[in-house]
Amino acid sequence: MRHQLLDSTVRRLDRMAVERQRESRTPALAAGVAHRGDLLWSAGVGTADLADPTVPLDERTQFLIASNTKTFTAVMVLQLRDEGRLRLDDPIDDHLPGSRQPGVTIRQLLAHASGMQREPVRPEFWDTLAVPPADRFVEDWNASERVLPPHAAWHYSNLAFIALGEVVAHADGRSWAESLQARLLDPLGLTRTTLALQPPAAGLYFVPPYSDVPVDEPVLFTGILAAAGGLASTVADLATWHGFLLDPDESVLRRDTALEMREPHAARDPRSGTMQGLGLALVHREGRTWFGHTGGAPGGITGAYSDPESGLTGVVLMNNSVARTPESTAIGFAEQVAEHDAPLPEPWTPGTEAPEDLVPLTGLWFSEGSAFVFRIRGGRLEAVQQGADDDAPPAVFEPEGRDALRTVSGRERGERLLVDRRDDGSIRLLSWATYRCTREPLGFGEPAV
């Protein structure tokens, strides 16, 4: 059943939307909060198109989402990895014909850890706004500078995602835009996410600091630049997109891959604990870690962030080139709901099977002096440290041959759990990531019988 927000929560969110629209002096602000893709609240403040006040401003009004586009490009790269078409640690030279940037890997580009320069090589780019010709991209890419050693520091790069867009196109044998449509937009029903603004759409403006008269802005991220920031979308579509990132349809993207994208790969700001995943920013605030992205382009400042634990997503779309704090604004909307009116958790439902080979592994085991509870949930073996918070994610295991399992998520992800048996077939101990787990607490020097 759809969660119905309290009137007091709606009032808080509506007030916050007006306050943020005023602070950013943005002609239009559209915002929303969703729970696992289900839009709970949305609002439009201001005027979408100053030349035509009849243009509606709501959850279906398009804005340029700029670098939120990178989350789509990143997912396509991971889809190709899962299909065996590439590996994340492959050099880009293996997947971009003519590329000569030795040692630059796909993973580095996804995590903004490659050290490649921020923008396309042409020095006049931000002066003339001339889109670099697609047929010159590889030549320009080869002339680009690696301004930092790999992994020396987080260094944001639009150029990196332009290159990743070309990797997608080459691996998929069609344009990045065609791949996007077939791989993500069509399967997920994102009909209001497009490469060109479609009505109803917000105008693109710059509001000067010493005047309150907006100036029209151009559309910038077209052509070869699109994979880094060219999409237009809506509050409703971004809510659906983040619902998918929270709980993907495995026919489109594997769940463990979605989790992998949220693993930290670089520190964006060590002081605040803000990290970088694979195509996703990770923001730690008030005990929650939000994943998502912001976008900044002429006339399009946007933010969309989700909290995996609560399943809440906050979205904000603004159409002033210098609108303020899209990250904290988007998260702030969702935090209002999380703190004051969180949706009820899903009810507990009974399982349907307890595999016979897993049952002997359940119960209390001790490792390094700590107690772990091994249990069956949904037909799979899990492990949690005794006394851990109820919402702490468990380690989850999948069978991998006789007396062997692989940790597929949670603690010690990737490591094996091996079953050591006595001559009579009973279990002597478990070996998890090579550390033994015994039924009784033992010191390191005490033998397991």
Helix axis angle for 326-340 and 7-24, nearest 10°, is 170
pLDDT tens for residues 314-358? 999 999 999 999 999 999 999 999 999 999 888 889 999 999 999
Residue 295 token pair: 């976008």
pLDDT above 70 for 1: no
pLDDT above 80 for 212: yes
pLDDT, the chain, mean = 95
Residue 449: per-residue pLDDT: 84
Contacts of 415 (CB under 8 A, 6+ apart): 406, 407, 432, 433, 434
pLDDT above 80 for 156: yes
Which of 143-156 are b and which e, b meaning 16 or more Cβ less than 10 Å from the residue's Cβ? ebeeeeeeeeebbe
Domain boundaries defined on the chain: 7-340, 359-437
Q: How far is 309 from 257, CA to CA, in rounded Å? A: 17
What is the SS3 assignment for 181?
helix
Say which DSSP state 306 is in: E
pLDDT above 90 for 215: yes
Q: How far is 283 from 291, CA to CA, in rounded Å? A: 6
- What's the rounded mean pLDDT across residues 424-449? 93
3, 151, 157, 400 from 96: Cα distances, Å: 47, 21, 18, 35
Q: How far is 449 from 446, CA to CA, in rounded Å? A: 9
pLDDT tens for residues 13-55? 999 999 999 999 999 999 999 999 999 999 999 999 999 999 9
pLDDT tens for residues 88-135? 999 999 999 999 999 999 999 999 999 999 998 776 677 788 888 899
Say which CATH architecture domain 359-437 belongs to. Beta Barrel (2.40)
Q: How far is 412 from 433, CA to CA, in rounded Å? A: 7
Residue 24: per-residue pLDDT: 98
Quick check: do 7-340 and 359-437 share a fold?
Answer: no
Contacts of 401 (CB under 8 A, 6+ apart): none
Per the CB < 8 A criterion, the answer to whether 291 and 277 are in contact is yes
Contacts of 130 (CB under 8 A, 6+ apart): 122, 124
What is the SS3 assignment for 172?
helix
| SS3 per-residue string spanning 61-87 | CEEECHHHHHHHHHHHHHHHHHCCCCC
Per the CB < 8 A criterion, the answer to whether 33 and 333 are in contact is yes
Residue 434: per-residue pLDDT: 96
Say which CATH architecture domain 7-340 belongs to. 3-Layer(aba) Sandwich (3.40)
Q: How far is CA 432 from the centre of its chain?
A: 30
Residue 235: per-residue pLDDT: 98
The one-letter amino acid at 378 = G
Place of tokens 């449509």: 181
Q: How far is 327 from 329, CA to CA, in rounded Å? A: 5
Q: How far is 7 from 320, CA to CA, in rounded Å? A: 30
Residue 390: pLDDT band by 50, 70, 90 thresholds?
confident
Residue 7: pLDDT band by 50, 70, 90 thresholds?
very high
Exposure on the CB side of residue 164, measured as CA atoms within 13 A: 36
pLDDT tens for residues 171-190? 999 999 999 999 999 999 99
Residue 353 token pair: 């099977």
- Separation of first and last alpha carbons in the chain: 53
Residue 183: per-residue pLDDT: 98
Residue 377: per-residue pLDDT: 94
13, 315, 341 from 8: Cα distances, Å: 9, 20, 9
Residue 123: per-residue pLDDT: 63
159, 234, 239, 272, 282 from 267: Cα distances, Å: 19, 30, 26, 10, 9
Q: How far is 353 from 345, CA to CA, in rounded Å? A: 23
- What's the rounded mean pLDDT across residues 50-76? 98
pLDDT above 90 for 150: yes
